[in-house]
């Protein structure tokens, strides 16, 4: 797929981040039957953080991580690099099940999770993969501005103080980043910009230094109490942790538990000095729009724009290309959005596009679970907020597994269960119609520009439970 007259666009290849960081030497597969105290299935941030905190707390335990490809192959090595304090799930749902104070406690812990994720990276020697630059949400129509203000008001009830998030005028947005047609927005300092592959590879190395063994190229085919069956042998363990997020469907009986939602990204070539001046963005903040079909962006350490969205959010029967090949339709949507937001970058060469899957539960809320009877544990369903969410979930799992009655063990995502997703073709139809409705609603809102959120988006939110 040619990007411009001058260069081919790499489509897939896992992610630009993995290509840029360079893959570490492959780790050995499981050598056959192995005994351990803890077997963690999935070598993304959930699995790695869980190994990290458990091994720190119990240095004598034998902890192994089972990874189908390589640590960082999944969403953890492909994401948009927003390490934000936005909770993985909805305040109103956590409040409905466990009370507003518990939901606010989760928010407070999310602020801490961003700090902790940055601090550990620095202590463990991969701090160069993260920069604390904050986050700006930009509204480019009156309805988006109304939503930004309403969202900020709601955040005040959810534990965000004046110093945690503040409204920006059009001029204030403009002085930070030159988004075309910006009418205002809001900013928060609670967000770090991450190079996802460097970060995840750095954490995997730190986990290994602690004495955890990561077995790569080893596919779990079934998990059950005290046992993980793989294509390379069986691991017996007192505790088995499922940390597969968007790949949960790869295990028998879990096909409808978490919907593997595609998110797609595109990265440009490095900006010329003129383009760099034109976009401003000197603070390196993460930037998101307020459209229903949300776009997320970062300016990389080497001055590229990486932008993502959900053009083709779901494929029939939960299918996806493992290496991240992206549908042309999704690339075209992202390219068009980039040009709308930054006309100065119109025609810029795109270097790579890729996709990954994140795990979405039916109630759109993350869950952290441990059953001491069976020794089975799991964490996931961060709905696109997993970068800091994985850190908090892992510390929560540690406390649950160690049987410690801490504030983390009482967070409202502990012990949650959501019902399964609908069977096909309902699942495909629902997800596809939902995002088509959001795109339609965005177009209507730009056309009407009367400050009102499109009724189509409101209906879509109600039907989807988002
Ligand atoms: C394109 C994209 C952009 C995103 N942007 C952001 C963002 O900006 N901010 C944010 O907070 N979140 C973002 N997310 C979500 C975030 O990346 C995830 O929530 C987070 O990385 C989940 O980590 P995980 O360890 O639970 O899952 P993963 O990182 O997906 O790890 C699961 C691992 O399990 C392995 N595996 C799969 N099947 C098996 C098996 N049968 N046996 C053994 N191993 C197996 C996979 O190879 C994979 O390495 C984004 C996600 C995507 C895809």
Spans of all domains in the chain:
10-84+197-258+363-410
Q: Exposure of 198 by Cβ count < 10 A (0-12 exposed, 13-18 middle, 19+ buried)?
A: buried
Residue 293 Cα to ligand 1 midpoint, Å, equals 21
Which CATH number describes the domain made up of 10-84+197-258+363-410? Answer: 3.50.50.60
Q: Exposure of 97 by Cβ count < 10 A (0-12 exposed, 13-18 middle, 19+ buried)?
A: middle
The DSSP symbol for 233 reads E
Phi, psi of 409 (to 5 degrees): -70, -10
Q: pLDDT digits over 400-422, tens only?
A: 999 999 999 999 999 998 988 88
Q: Is the beta carbon of 245 within 6 A of some atom in ligand 1?
A: yes
The closest alpha carbon to 308, from 318, 291, 317, 295, belongs to 295
Q: pLDDT digits over 437-448, tens only?
A: 888 788 888 888
Residue 308 CA to residue 331 CA, distance in Å, equals 9
Q: Exposure of 170 by Cβ count < 10 A (0-12 exposed, 13-18 middle, 19+ buried)?
A: middle
Given a cut of 60, whether residue 6 has pLDDT beyond it is: no
Q: Exposure of 321 by Cβ count < 10 A (0-12 exposed, 13-18 middle, 19+ buried)?
A: middle
Given a cut of 60, whether residue 215 has pLDDT beyond it is: yes
Q: Is the beta carbon of 44 within 6 A of some atom in ligand 1?
A: yes
Given a cut of 60, whether residue 58 has pLDDT beyond it is: yes
Q: pLDDT digits over 140-189, tens only?
A: 999 999 999 999 999 999 999 999 999 999 999 999 999 999 999 999 99
Least confident segment among 28-32, 330-334, 428-432: 428-432
pLDDT value, residue 5: 39
Atom of ligand 1 nearest to the CA of 357: 53
44 HSE (CA, 13 A, CB side): 30
Q: pLDDT digits over 61-87, tens only?
A: 999 999 999 999 999 999 999 999 999
Residue 443 Cα to ligand 1 midpoint, Å, equals 31
Given a cut of 90, whether residue 293 has pLDDT beyond it is: no
Highest mean pLDDT among 325-334, 386-395, 431-440: 386-395
Q: Is the beta carbon of 243 within 6 A of some atom in ligand 1?
A: yes
Least confident segment among 18-22, 65-69, 109-113, 309-313: 309-313
pLDDT value, residue 439: 81
Share of the chain above pLDDT 90, in %: 80
pLDDT value, residue 465: 66
Q: Is the beta carbon of 41 within 6 A of some atom in ligand 1?
A: yes
Query: Which residue, judged by its Cα, is nearest atom 16 of ligand 1?
Result: 386
State the average pLDDT for the chain: 93
pLDDT value, residue 466: 67
Given a cut of 80, whether residue 115 has pLDDT beyond it is: yes
Question: Using N-to-C axis directions, what is the helix angle for 196-210 and 45-57, rounded to 10°?
Answer: 30
Residue 124 CA to residue 122 CA, distance in Å, equals 5
């Amino acid at each position: 797929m040619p990007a411009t007259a001058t260069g081919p666009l790499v489509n897939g290849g896992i992610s630009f981040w993995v290509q840029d960081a360079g893959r570490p030497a492959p780790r050995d597969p499981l050598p056959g039957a192995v005994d351990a105290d803890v077997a963690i299935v999935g070598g993304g941030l959930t699995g790695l953080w869980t190994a990290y905190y458990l091994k720190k707390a119990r240095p004598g335990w034998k902890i192994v991580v089972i990874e189908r490809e390589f640590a960082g192959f999944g969403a953890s090595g492909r994401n948009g690099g927003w390490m934000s304090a936005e909770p993985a799930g909805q305040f109103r749902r956590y409040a409905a099940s466990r009370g507003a104070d518990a939901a606010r406690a989760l928010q407070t812990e999310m602020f801490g999770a961003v700090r902790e994720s940055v601090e550990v990276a620095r202590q463990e020697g991969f701090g160069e993969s993260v920069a604390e630059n904050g986050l700006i949400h930009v509204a480019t129509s009156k309805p988006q501005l109304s939503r930004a203000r309403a969202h900020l008001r709601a955040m005040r009830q959810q534990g965000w103080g004046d110093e945690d998030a503040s409204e920006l005028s059009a001029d204030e947005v403009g002085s930070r980043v030159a988004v075309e047609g910006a009418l205002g927005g809001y900013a928060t300092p609670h967000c770090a910009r991450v190079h996802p592959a460097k970060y995840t590879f750095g954490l995997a190395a730190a986990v290994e230094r602690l004495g955890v063994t990561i077995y790569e190229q080893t596919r779990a085919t079934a998990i059950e109490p005290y046992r993980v069956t793989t294509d390379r042998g069986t691991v017996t363990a007192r505790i088995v942790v499922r940390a597969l997020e968007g790949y949960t469907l790869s295990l028998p009986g879990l096909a409808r538990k978490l919907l593997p939602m595609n998110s797609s990204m595109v990265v440009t070539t490095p900006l010329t000095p003129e383009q760099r001046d034109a976009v401003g963005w000197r603070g390196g903040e993460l930037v998101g729009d307020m459209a229903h079909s949300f776009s997320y962006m970062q300016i990389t350490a080497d001055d590229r724009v990486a932008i993502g969205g959900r053009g083709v959010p779901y494929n029939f029967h939960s299918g996806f290309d493992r290496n991240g090949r992206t549908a042309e339709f999704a690339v075209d949507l992202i390219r068009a959005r980039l040009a709308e937001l930054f006309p100065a970058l119109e025609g810029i060469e795109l270097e790579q596009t890729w996709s990954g899957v994140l795990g979405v539960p039916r109630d759109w809320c993350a869950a952290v679970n441990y059953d001491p009877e069976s020794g089975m544990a799991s964490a996931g369903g961060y709905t696109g907020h997993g970068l800091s969410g994985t850190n908090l979930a892992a510390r929560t799992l540690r406390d649950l597994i160690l049987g410690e009655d801490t504030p983390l063990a009482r967070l409202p995502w502990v012990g949650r269960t959501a019902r399964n997703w609908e069977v096909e073709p309902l699942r495909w139809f629902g997800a596809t119609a939902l995002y088509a409705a959001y795109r339609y609603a965005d177009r209507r809102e730009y056309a009407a520009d009367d400050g009102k959120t499109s009724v189509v988006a409101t209906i879509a939110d109600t039907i989807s439970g988002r």
